[in-house]
Amino acid sequence: MMTTAVAHEVTYLEAISEALDEEMSQDERVFLLGEDIGPYGGAFRITEGFQEKYGEWRVFDTPLSESGIVGAAIGAAMMGMRPIVEMQFADFISCAFDQITEMAAKNHYRWGAAVPMVIRAPYGGGVHGGPFHSVCPEAWFFHTPGLKLVAPSTAYDAKGLLKSAIRDNNPVLYFEHKFLYRRVKETLPPEDFFVPIGEAEIKRKGRDLSVITYGAMVHIALEAAEQLDQEGIDLEVVDLRTLSPLDRHTIVDSVGKTSKVIVLHEATKTGGIGAEISALLAEECFSSLDAPILRIAAPDTPVPYSPPLEEFFLPKARDVIAAARQLVAY
């Protein structure tokens, strides 16, 4: 837990911790609940020291029941609190699927009840967690009206999006990529800041083709872009940041400019968010496209535990490079 009033370098993990600390300091309605988040400080130590600072009524451990945790959070949100649930691993969010999709997502539609809650979901592979601790479940909820989904790729976005999510009056699923926790660092400004939900960002401007992506794959795309730059191929990297609602304007504008596009995500390919983006581009950018839309994603299997198999399973910069060469030569 670290909050400071000067510009400072933090990891992706520390940025999340800072956002929680600042929002809890500013609003007594904000509280945390989840498994092992109290004295233990969470599986990844994001809430270390929080219970000592804020007390066990604002940072408390729960039973191993994701459905019960989310149900309690929904009730608290409807009574005017702003709960933040930690799913120890995003994989376990399926245990609370009914509460999230049938209750939290629909309450405002049914009777105008705001449900201002955040569910933090540590997701993704690259840490050899195996098939039960590495899933990317965002597409399950992307199909559910009433939910907002965010997936930051940088420390700045991790902090700014979490602060926006906490202050939003809708249920927000906050997908934080475990692989980025201690691998991504950034200097953050001293002043309070927010990243708006619903706005993508061009992480790298380019002229030859667009890569539409999010989360850890943003860094894969940027790595590929640096290598392709030596070949004279100029990639534009669009970081969605928010998955729902999609920033359709930024996506369409980028592809309208470059006329060629790769949609990249870590989740398995079939029925993924990349399929929706591809359909959007086919509908709105067909006359601008000079080549087929290409999707790069994980194969349709569970995430392997074996490090060599997981290495094969996850999309890599070389996959983006090969697809970019194919599109440029089309």
User: In a structure prediction context, what are the per-residue pLDDT tens digits for the chain, which is 330 residues long?
Assistant: 555 578 889 999 999 999 999 999 999 999 999 999 999 999 999 999 999 999 999 999 999 999 999 999 999 999 999 999 999 999 999 999 999 999 999 999 999 999 999 999 999 999 999 999 999 999 999 999 999 999 999 999 999 999 999 999 999 999 999 999 999 999 999 999 999 999 999 999 999 999 999 999 999 999 999 999 999 999 999 999 999 999 999 999 999 999 999 999 999 999 999 999 999 999 999 999 999 999 999 999 999 999 999 999 999 999 999 999 999 999
Mind listing the pLDDT tens digit for each residue in 116-156?
Answer: 999 999 999 999 999 999 999 999 999 999 999 999 999 99
pTM (2 d.p.): 0.96
Mean pLDDT of the chain: 96
Residues 195 and 151 sit within 8 Å (Cβ to Cβ): no
With 0-12 / 13-18 / 19 or more C-beta atoms within 10 angstroms meaning exposed / middle / buried, residue 11 is middle
Taken in order of first residue, the domains within the chain and their CATH numbers are 8-188 (3.40.50.970), 201-328 (3.40.50.920)
Catalytic residue among 8, 108, 133, 249: 133
Q: Are 219 and 12 in contact (CB under 8 A)?
A: no
Task: State which amino acid sits at residue 217.
Answer: M
Indicate if 143 belongs to the active site.
no
Question: Please, where are the H alpha helices in 89-154?
Answer: 97-98, 107-111, 138-142
**Tens-place pLDDT, residues 29-85:** 999 999 999 999 999 999 999 999 999 999 999 999 999 999 999 999 999 999 999
